[in-house]
Amino acid sequence: MVEIADKMAKVVSLCKRRGFVYPSAEIYGGTGSVWDFGPLGVELKQNLKKLWWRDMVQRRSDIVGLDTAIITRPEVLRASGHEKGFVDPLVECKVCHERFRADHYHLVESHFAECHKGKEIKDNITPARAFNLMFKTFMGPVDSDDNIAYLRPETAQGIFLNFKNVLESSRQKIPFGIAQIGKSFRNEITPGNFIFRTREFEQAELEYFVRPSDAEHYYKQWIEARFRWYCMLGIKKENLRLRPHTTEELAHYAIAATDVEYKFPFGWSELEGIANRQDYDLQTHENHSGRDLKYFDEELGKKFWPYVIEPAGGVDRMVLAFIVDAYEEMEDNEVVLRFDPRLAPIKVAVFPLVKKDKLPDVAKQLYDELKKDFMVAYDEAGSVGRRYRRQDEIGTPWCITVDFDSLKDNCVTIRDRDSRKQERIKIAKVKEYLESRLEKL
Ligand code: ATP
């Protein structure tokens, strides 16, 4: 068992070394809490997004997708309440001007203990002031107050703005949903814990529009569905829990919210939130834009603003949770990432047993063939044992070895990452074998 405190450091190091996640602009010293996804990280993230999309959009007749703009005009975020309300209380250390969230007081305490030992905290900290978390920019060639725009702090608003467009073009009837995956930006005061809290991140959000009287029912249904989704993709049930928000915690627009929390090495933390946003958003955008955003319910014969149930998850947090959960250190210190095969960045690796006697030719041919359908690695360096370990460490579910017998019997050995069992199968059957083991994305 890996020590809990160690685990995060080991995961971060593995992510860098094997190409899952790098610090952004690292050669210039990094950009504070901004990260880049490497060759394996981008595969894992895309697999996650594809599975989310498959289950939230493709396989449902009541949900459609959307991809809306990041640059947002201030009127939108004024109406949504973000301009005034999307704030954290901020305090500043008078000694070194470092800033902290006043509601994360333990950080202030550890800052003083580490950097300004002996100084009285209350004499050396400013009163809390509201700090807006949105990134501001300017549209067009003039930097003036008339040209302000924001980078969206959530993907949800783009969905509400297009509610009528989607309704008219897709002819959905409530209950129905609009889903979106995309980047959001928050100038977090205390980002950290690797890719858990960052300033630029991706969200996967669904706004599900329902009759007000059905809201409670769908709220509960979505909480269960989202919890099940994480289990279905292999997160251990004991590492997941649901935590309803207290009344004080609720965002201004919500009457109820529940977080799906994951037991990260740094403690239980939010992976995804499911909120009952009532009719707050459609109502406020109608009031501010002057455009009718009500829904006409033919069955009930009346017009109203639907209530909205919102499951909103963070893709980067999901990536971290899936890596942490898959991480296992064996007795010989060997690391295995036990990803669900559908999530694994590389599905299969192909090795020639040795670098001679035509074995690389046969292996390369198989590699080229499989590459048409899967992400495949080819490796001919070092012993087969070492090659297995390299693949285990990045979570590749299967490794195929081409050996001398392969030249005669046209068979190869497939080794399973988790059972470590080896099977001999015909080269011509490899693709079928993988397809049967893998629900293809
Ligand atoms: P937190 O309480 O952790 O700040 P939140 O409740 O403000 O999160 P929401 O506004 O509900 O988050 O956003 C939905 C999801 O987006 C969160 O569950 C989380 O997974 C993700 N998310 C929010 N902020 C960040 C961030 N700074 N970095 C990475 N992911 C984030």
Domain boundaries, the chain: 4-72+153-325, 346-439
Element (H, E) at 163: helix 163-170
200 pocket-lining for ligand 1 (C-beta < 6 Å)? no
pLDDT of amino acid 99: 86
Residue located nearest, by CA, to atom 30 of ligand 1: 314
Residue located nearest, by CA, to atom 10 of ligand 1: 154
Q: What are phi and psi of 404, to 5 degrees?
A: -65, -35
243 pocket-lining for ligand 1 (C-beta < 6 Å)? no
> Which of 385, 370, 389, 380 has its CA nearest to residue 438?
370
> Which of 245, 237, 244 has its CA nearest to residue 263?
237
Q: Is 110 exposed, middle or buried (0-12, 13-18, 19+ CB in 10 A)?
A: exposed
Token pair, residue 406, equals: 């392969």
57 pocket-lining for ligand 1 (C-beta < 6 Å)? no
203 pocket-lining for ligand 1 (C-beta < 6 Å)? yes
Strands 348-352 and 99-101: unpaired
pLDDT of amino acid 105: 86
314 pocket-lining for ligand 1 (C-beta < 6 Å)? yes
CATH architecture classification, 346-439: 3-Layer(aba) Sandwich (3.40)
**CATH, domain 4-72+153-325, list 3.20.20.70, 3.30.930.10, 1.10.10.60, 3.60.15.30:** 3.30.930.10
C-alpha–C-alpha distance, residues 324 and 44, integer Å: 13
**Helix boundaries (H) for 193-333:** 215-232, 280-289, 315-326
User: Given this chain, do its domains 4-72+153-325 and 346-439 carry the same CATH topology?
Assistant: no
Q: How far is the CA of 314 from the centre of ligand 1 (A)?
A: 6
Strands 376-378 and 411-416: unpaired
In this structure, which amino acid lies at residue 168?
Answer: E
Token pair, residue 392, equals: 């285990």
**What's the distance, CA 93 to chain centroid?**
33
Residues linked to residue 307 through DSSP beta bridges, in sequence order: 210
C-alpha–C-alpha distance, residues 212 and 7, integer Å: 45
Per-residue pLDDT tens listing for the chain (441 residues)? 455 668 999 999 999 999 999 999 999 999 888 999 999 999 999 999 999 999 999 999 999 999 999 999 999 999 999 999 888 888 989 888 888 888 888 889 999 999 999 999 989 998 888 889 999 999 988 878 889 999 999 999 999 999 999 999 998 999 999 999 999 999 988 888 999 999 999 999 999 999 999 999 999 999 999 999 999 999 999 999 999 999 988 988 899 999 999 999 999 999 999 999 999 999 999 999 999 999 999 999 999 999 999 999 999 999 999 999 999 999 888 999 999 999 999 999 999 999 988 999 999 999 999 999 999 999 999 999 999 999 999 999 999 999 999 999 999 999 999 999 999 999 999 999 999 988 754
Do the beta carbons of residue 305 and residue 282 sit within 8 Å? yes
Contacts of 9 (CB under 8 A, 6+ apart): none
Residues linked to residue 91 through DSSP beta bridges, in sequence order: 100
Token pair, residue 319, equals: 């990536």
Count helices and strands in the chain by DSSP H and E runs = 14, 24
* Position in ligand 1 atom list of the atom nearest CA 186: 27
pLDDT of amino acid 140: 87
Indicate the top mutation candidate among 21, 134, 201 to test ligand 1's pocket, ranked by most ligand atoms within 8 A of CB. Answer: 201
Contacts of 298 (CB under 8 A, 6+ apart): 173
* Position in ligand 1 atom list of the atom nearest CA 270: 18
> Which of 7, 8, 11 has its CA nearest to residue 21?
11
C-alpha–C-alpha distance, residues 100 and 91, integer Å: 5
- Per-residue DSSP letters for 61-107? SSEEEE---SEE-HHHHHHTTHHHH-EEEEEEBTTT--EEETT-HHH
C-alpha–C-alpha distance, residues 311 and 224, integer Å: 11
> Which of 165, 119, 399, 115 has its CA nearest to residue 293?
165
Token pair, residue 438, equals: 């893998």
pLDDT of amino acid 4: 61
C-alpha–C-alpha distance, residues 418 and 405, integer Å: 25
pLDDT of amino acid 441: 44
* Position in ligand 1 atom list of the atom nearest CA 257: 11
The DSSP output letter for 57 is I
Contacts of 111 (CB under 8 A, 6+ apart): 93, 98, 100
Terminal CA-CA length for the chain = 33
Handedness of CA 341, 343, 347, 349 (dihedral sign): negative
* Position in ligand 1 atom list of the atom nearest CA 314: 20
C-alpha–C-alpha distance, residues 102 and 100, integer Å: 6
Strands 129-132 and 87-92: antiparallel
C-alpha–C-alpha distance, residues 251 and 270, integer Å: 15
